Amino acid sequence: MADLSTCPPLTRASVVKAHNLIRPFIHRTPVLTNRTIDEVASTSRTAEELKGTPWEEAKPANPTLRLWFKCENLQRIGAFKARGAFHAVERLKREPGWEAGGGFTKGVVTHSSGNHAQALALAARTAGMPAHIVMPKISAAPKVAATRGYGANVVFSGSTAPERLAVADEVIATTGGRMVPPYDHPDIILGQGTAGLELQAQVAEAKAAEATSTGAPTAFLRAPTTAPKPTQNPGLNAIMTPCGGGGLLAGTVLSAQGTGIRVFGAEPSFGGADDCTRGLAQGKRIEAVSSLTIADGLRTPVGVHNWAVLTGQTPDSNGKGVDGVYAVGEDQIKAALRLLLERMKLMVEPSSAVPLAVVLYNEEFRKRVEEEAGPEGWDLGIVLSGGNVSLEGFSKLFPSEG
């Protein structure tokens, strides 16, 4: 990666610059809405539905929510990770001495079994440099094939983090390539934040179009109902993203600086994958996660740089970080996946469905919306982080009942 001393400050202005840098290489993915899911999210759960949950004795929350889905499952390589990878590579290309030092020959190195592997392979190929990707031997064959399909040299390792890092160090020593980590670096964070930047602009554009439209709704807009009130929020009240290593969530926090938009994270609770939720409660970053949650993209602990952003410890944050992180169980993630498929015809990977699951089933978050938003409710952006799930893998989540 670029030397930390040369990295831009972790601010919204830097996210804007990152977006200008990578715009030629990424898709401006669509933002979709769905009235049926809005109605489900804005309907109180029954006492029966709350039985066996931490909120069994509580009065069911009754929030009003209008959801806007940023479809990063339609991004290049099928995930938001393309944003960070392209930003990292483009920054390296502009590093003084990179070309003279043989950077285009030595290339880049990373360790990943999933979306970052494919994203860096594509970004490196586009830039005309090699990519050496360390992947665990147990990596899914389609992901290995996709990474190789983008031109990367795949090197296999053991499945544990120390084993992957050891092989990556060997590859770096052999090739002279530069390490591009999956999430724990300012350049990655800033690149991922461009999704939040786009989402904010797209919702503002859509709401402005709604206010003046007299025709039928499009796939991207709700039908206009009544003329907007002069005080009506012109854009989003809040954004929620999944949280694994924290690159997307931290970047989204930066993208919302100074806008008044709240930012929330969503995690699976299974097997301790809710490390950010627990870490924020304890006031200390949790350094290790060992979970087999179906949301396999969220099995990593939050990175050091990412944690600093989320807790408002960066120099330009003014103490403002993420507004909260909430967790949900495996069955709730599956229910959200099913709803996205059946109602929006979107097949996404389980990690992508975690924010919607929080919105629908985490009563703590739902109560917060009800209390802070009141009857007017919130326009809430949800980042669908990726869609790299095979048909076989998806079907295993919903086995036949026959």
- Please identify every residue annotated as catalytic: 81, 113
Residue 226 structure tokens: 């009544």
Number of Cβ within 10 Å of residue 47's Cβ equals 12
The residue count for the chain: 402
d(CA 107, CA 132): 8
Amino acid type, 80: F
Residue 371 structure tokens: 């209390």
d(CA 16, CA 2): 18
Residue 76 structure tokens: 């290049």
CA distances to 80, 139, 181, 295, 337 from 388, rounded to whole Å, are 11, 13, 20, 12, 13
Closest CA to 350 of 361, 339, 359: 339
The answer to whether the CB of 392 falls within 8 A of the CB of 353 is no
- The neighbouring-strand residues paired with 179 are 109
Angle made by CA atoms 213, 200, 222, in degrees to the nearest 5: 30
As a dihedral over the C-alpha atoms of residue 180, residue 185, residue 187, residue 192, rounded to 10 degrees, the angle is: 100
**Sheet of strand 108-111, all strands in order from the earlier edge strand to the far edge:** 153-157, 131-136, 108-111, 178-179
Q: Among all chains, which residue has been given the structure tokens 């408002």?
A: 312
The answer to whether the CB of 180 falls within 8 A of the CB of 89 is yes
d(CA 358, CA 332): 8
